[in-house]
Structure 1
Amino acid sequence: MIGKDRVNSAKAGDVTFRDVSTAHQQFRWGKTALWLIVVLLAADFLWAIANNENFGWATIREYFFHPEVVAGLWVSLGLTVVAMILGTILGLILAVMRLSDDSLANGLAGIYIWFFRGTPLLVQLIFWYNLSTLFPTLGINLFGLGLGGWDTNSVITPLTAAILGLALNEAAYMAEIIRGGLLSVDKGQAETASAFGMTRGRALRRIVIPQAMRAIVPPTGNQLISMVKATSLVSVIAMSDLLYAVQSIYNRTFDIVPMLLVAVFWYLIITSVLNIGQGYIERYYGRSDRRNSAAAAMQPTGEV
């Protein structure tokens, strides 16, 4: 009787029912018009650039794969890889020292990070390149007893100065990135590993660091992209990187803007590839989060 009364009251107009089987989203004229305006402006901008002969598109095509440019590109990539590897390793050591209960290790790491993050990278590169003005020879001297000695200019070449400057500077930033990632892991993870008899180092390698990677990878990807661009600074110490190669060419041809655009396009290509790789790594380390979310969605809610 109750069900029939509800149907009758609905038919009588007490309750309004709407048929939504054929409902559809309303067309957004304003948003479509805005997109159209943006596309037209972008197309007009690109057309103006493509038809502007002052950009020297012919020169760009001529020198884009020039042997000197390609050689400088490989130098920039090599510096990026070596500096990031050394900086990450040293940064991991500094991060562990910063988290240590030992006040000496904590203090030394803090001073290192404070100094290298507080001074410009360009100044550090110039300092390493001119180290011979302070120390003409390099060696170990303990209480007047000299243990070996090498001419500083023969040791600190433009290559070693570039690697030292980039790697030591990067280590300071990577230390804070890694430290933040380690702190993001629940302390109970390390305590559980210790309860199962794992040493602190083993727990760090097997338990803590793999979980911290989800927080470490995104900022590390940004640092890698920044490192690619930071290698352009080594041109001031006569290191034949991509920018130095471009500069040496336009010093001969006086095609400044076209040659700078050659470097810009190569940097954009490299950073785009690195962005794709960063996205893949983030998805790889985010698999556990997706599995946990899927498992939680499949669990019964307990509602009756």
Structure 2
Amino acid sequence: MSIEYINSILKPMLEGAQVTVLLFLIVIVLSIPLGFVLTLAVKSRIKPIAWFAQIYIYWMRGTPLLLQLLFICFGLPMLPVIGDYLVLDRFVAACLGFILNYAAYFAEIFRGGLLAIDKGQYEASQVLGLNKWQTTTRIILPQMFRIALPAVSNESVTLVKDTALLYAVAVPELLHFAQTAVNRDFTIVPFILAGIIYLILTLFLTILFKWLEQRFKFD
């Protein structure tokens, strides 16, 4: 294939990659805090809150993300009475589905980080005269995030690849433009270019999280 052809299909694919990156940023910024809130809810002493959080996490992790996206995009508008008020822009609906799904995974990651902290840390904090708030913010949370960082890194890389599911709900992203070019030109070159773009994005994330792990590692 000529350089001219590659340039002609690369421009729309890069535009699609912008949608991919935008979705990734929105989901990361919103799902990580929501996941932490869910972690706290699971540990809540108020049983209904803890049960709700546990059921939510089980449901979101136990059903396919694609099913959740299809339900939000196409199922919610079909609900009786309230369906007309639940018609969302496709991209907004996709963002909502990704945020709700990934928050459940991040909640489990953070819960694992908390469980990995030795109980002696709490006792040592009491000896030092720290109150519960100081213990949580200065001792427990920094250690939890350090422990959880590799798993968060892995989940973030998975998120980049999962953005391809936007194709299933008719949001024009990277894979959409690649598939369009393949169908039009009968060549696999667009798929190869799409794969390279995904690899570049995941490589950037891998380098970033490796730096963060080194930056916040235990002495």
Given the two structures, how large is their TM-score scaled by the length of structure 1? 0.66
Which residue in the other structure is 1:116 paired with? 60
Q: Which has the higher contact order (CA 8 A, sep 6+)?
A: 2
| Equivalent of residue 264 in structure 1, options 195, 200, 203 | 195
Residue 238 of structure 1 pairs with residue 170 of structure 2: yes
How far residue 110 of structure 1 moved from its aligned partner, in angstroms, is: 0.7
Match of 1:276, SS state, is helix
Per-residue deviation, residues 201-256 of structure 1 (Å, max 9, x unmatched): x432222111122211001000000000000001111111111122233333333x
How far apart, in 1, do the equivalents of 2:143 and 2:135 lie?
A: 11
Per-residue deviation, residues 81-124 of structure 1 (Å, max 9, x unmatched): 11122111111011112223332222111101110011001111
More helix by share: 2
How far apart, in 2, do the equivalents of 1:215 and 1:132 lie?
A: 41
How far apart, in 1, do the equivalents of 2:213 and 2:5 lie?
A: 35
Residue 79 of structure 1 pairs with residue 23 of structure 2: yes
Residue 278 of structure 1 pairs with residue 209 of structure 2: yes
| Equivalent of residue 199 in structure 1, options 125, 132, 148 | 132
Which residue in the other structure is 1:61 paired with? 6
How far apart, in 2, do the equivalents of 1:218 and 1:229 lie?
A: 17
Which residue in the other structure is 1:185 paired with? 117
How far apart, in 2, do the equivalents of 1:284 and 1:178 lie?
A: 19
How far apart, in 2, do the equivalents of 1:136 and 1:58 lie?
A: 54
Q: Is the 8 A contact 1:99 1:106 kept in 2?
A: yes
How far apart, in 2, do the equivalents of 1:203 and 1:101 lie?
A: 18
Cα 1:203/1:230, change in 2 over 3 Å: same
Cα 1:215/1:90, change in 2 over 3 Å: same
Structure 2 letter corresponding to 1:254: F
Residue 88 of structure 1 pairs with residue 20 of structure 2: no
Structure 2: segments with no counterpart, 5+ residues: none
How far apart, in 2, do the equivalents of 1:251 and 1:151 lie?
A: 36
| Equivalent of residue 104 in structure 2, options 172, 191, 199 | 172
**Matching of residues 153-168 of structure 1 within 5 Å:** 153=87, 156-168=88-100
How far apart, in 2, do the equivalents of 1:263 and 1:136 lie?
A: 42
Q: Percent identity between the aligned chains?
A: 33
Which residue in the other structure is 1:41 paired with? none
Structure with larger Rg: 1
Superposed CA RMSD: 2.1
How far residue 185 of structure 1 moved from its aligned partner, in angstroms, is: 1.5
Structure 2 letter corresponding to 1:129: C
How far residue 190 of structure 1 moved from its aligned partner, in angstroms, is: 3.1
Which residue in the other structure is 1:126 paired with? 70
More strand by share: 1
Structure 1 letter corresponding to 2:211: Y
How many pairs were matched up? 217
Structure 1: segments with no counterpart, 5+ residues: 1-55, 139-149, 290-304
How far apart, in 1, do the equivalents of 2:161 and 2:146 lie?
A: 24
Which residue in the other structure is 1:25 paired with? none
Q: Is the 8 A contact 2:9 2:181 kept in 1?
A: no
How far apart, in 1, do the equivalents of 2:38 and 2:82 lie?
A: 28
Q: Is the 8 A contact 1:76 1:241 kept in 2?
A: yes
